[in-house]
Amino acid sequence: MKNNLFAFFPTLILIVAMSSNGYSQEQNRQYYQLKTFTLQNEKQDSVMDTYLKSAYLPALKRAGIENVGVFKYRPNNFLTANKLFVLIPFVSLEQFETLDDMLAQDKTYMTTGSDYVNAKYDEPPYERINSVLMRAFTGMPQMKPSEVQGDRKDRVYELRSYESPTEATYQNKVAMFNKGGEIELFESLGANAVFYAEVLSGDRMPNLMYMTTYPNMEKRDAVWKSFFGSKKWGELSTDPQYQNNMSKADKLLLYPTEYSDY
């Protein structure tokens, strides 16, 4: 019996270690909130820029939240509404849930952001806010701030949203990124992904979102050309197990503001 127990324990320890490692990786996945502010005019745009630069982002840093991205539309004749996109990473849902209370207790924030916080009902700083809550893919559990260089207004930050016809096909599309190798393909081509994430709550579900980044449109177009022309994508797109898992794809071409963290 003693020898049998001795032989058993190394196997048991290995199983526990493997389980713990998997649990650790699962716990390591970040949460992201994408806040989209719809603006009606240049005054609101100016108020929001001042608020985000001078009050909101500094307050987030005091709360221990780094790598906050703020983006605007690249010039595009087809877009009529002006919007600001704020991408915030969280280490946990608790951090997300308690953020508003922390801001309310931050005296510096309440002072520097007073024009926004105490805006009059007939002079709001925005038309509306849309919020999407996401959780990072297992294949990229942590946000990676973009390292692309060059003039910020020349940079291309491509935000994509992929909707699926059902929850099951949505999970299949997520698996295509994580297990199928779509994330690795983007990485090999220099797409400089900031995040890949499952949408937990939003106005378009089921869907996933991700952001890739480029120094300019020429590089962006070249990477996508290489993506669609690659052998790996040819294999993935024709693989029977990954068919009919997406019903709609939306893409936004953005650039980072001068006060964005990346």
Of 141, 259, 123, 149, which is closest to residue 213 (Cα–Cα)? 149
Q: Which CATH architecture has domain 30-256?
A: 2-Layer Sandwich (3.30)
User: Would you say 69 and 262 are in contact if contact means Cβ atoms under 8 Å apart?
Assistant: yes
Residue 19's pLDDT is what? 47
Q: What is the pLDDT of residues 55-109, one digit of tens each?
A: 999 999 999 999 999 999 998 645 556 999 999 999 999 999 999 999 999 999 9
Neighbours of 34 (CB within 10 A): 23
* Domain range annotation of the chain: 30-256
Q: What is the pLDDT of residues 117-168, one digit of tens each?
A: 999 999 999 999 999 999 999 999 999 999 999 999 999 999 999 999 999 9
